[in-house]
Amino acid sequence: MGLAGLRIVLVEPAGPINVGAIARVMKNFGLHHLVLVNPQCDPLSEEALRMAVHAKEILESAVLVATLPEALQGCVKAIATAGRVLSWEVPLENPRTALPWLLEEPEKPTALIFGREDRGLSNEELNYAQRFVFIPTNENYLSLNLATAVAICCYELAQCAELSVSQSLTLPELASLDVVEGYYQQLESLLLKIGYIYPHTAASRMEKFRQMYNRAHLQTREVAMLRGILRQVEWALKSQRDGENL
């Protein structure tokens, strides 16, 4: 699948010219799967189509979804771009060193996520990524146009695509992001039930768990094992309660 399985995900893009330019640069470098999350412009507007030039089919086949989790359905890896220093204790990586990771398993769908033109991605949206890239720019003018950022990343991906394919190995199956999300929901429910976390602190505490598990790059069988443990704990708690009520 390689580059063909890589999704360029734009969260709430507002400029049709940007969207058209992104379609064009995607075709330049052999990427074709564009996903738009709650777009704030018409991706098939005259401006967008004119800017896309000979890449109109990418706009016409673009997938429109309402939320970021929908855009990542089935993906096993996701990298988010950040235009600012994050408050989290996570490293910001250079595109050249980080992006090849998306191509290590060419038969699996992956995603590269870009935020809004004016404010990027929210912390909640960043939760859905496992790694983060930052494109360094001159300190005299830090702001980078969205289409330009996509172009830089597409170039780097194209440069490493053939090498990634030639070096591909049979690796354990990584869990898709929606499968891992199901585990997070089950974990949060159990932790609330046993009083380890509370409703008013659940979001911040679960953010830490997400960061920890995202660093581990869980395999499908590992998620199944973890969910089995949670089910066993839930069963033990229920059995204990039933015994006390006798």
What is the mean predicted confidence (pLDDT) over 32-43? 97
8 Å CB contact between 210 and 201: no
Q: Give me the sign of the Cα torsion angle 14, 153, 149, 95.
A: positive
Question: Is 171 domain-assigned?
Answer: no
pTM: 0.76
Question: Is 94 domain-assigned?
Answer: yes
Question: Is 155 domain-assigned?
Answer: yes
Question: Is 91 domain-assigned?
Answer: yes
> CATH number for the domain including 206?
1.10.8.590
Looking at residue 86, its pLDDT comes to: 61
By the 10 Å C-beta count (0-12 exposed, 13-18 middle, 19+ buried), 92 is classed as: middle
Looking at residue 242, its pLDDT comes to: 81
**How many structural domains are present in the chain?**
2
Query: pLDDT per residue over 40-66, tens digit each?
Result: 999 999 999 999 999 999 999 999 999
Q: Which of 141, 166, 191 is the last residue of a domain?
A: 166
Query: pLDDT per residue over 83-132, tens digit each?
Result: 765 666 778 899 999 999 999 887 889 999 999 999 999 989 999 999 99
Using 50, 70 and 90 to split pLDDT, how confident is the model at 2? low
In angstroms, the CA 162 to CA 151 distance is 18
Same domain, 221 and 143: no
Q: Are strands 63-65 and 77-81 parallel, antiparallel or unpaired?
A: unpaired
Same domain, 142 and 181: no
Q: Name the more confident of 191 and 89.
A: 191
Looking at residue 171, its pLDDT comes to: 61
Domain range holding 207? 177-244
Same domain, 111 and 218: no
Residue type for position 150? V
Same domain, 156 and 181: no
Looking at residue 166, its pLDDT comes to: 52
Q: What is the distance between the terminal CA atoms of the chain, rounded to a whole angstrom?
A: 58
Query: pLDDT per residue over 133-179, tens digit each?
Result: 999 888 888 888 999 999 999 999 999 886 654 555 456 788 999 99
Query: pLDDT per residue over 225-245, tens digit each?
Result: 999 999 999 999 989 888 777
8 Å CB contact between 219 and 175: yes
Same domain, 234 and 149: no
Q: Which of 126, 143, 166 is the last residue of a domain?
A: 166
Same domain, 145 and 204: no
Question: Is 172 domain-assigned?
Answer: no
Same domain, 198 and 103: no
8 Å CB contact between 22 and 146: yes
Question: Is 86 domain-assigned?
Answer: yes
What is the mean predicted confidence (pLDDT) over 62-79? 97
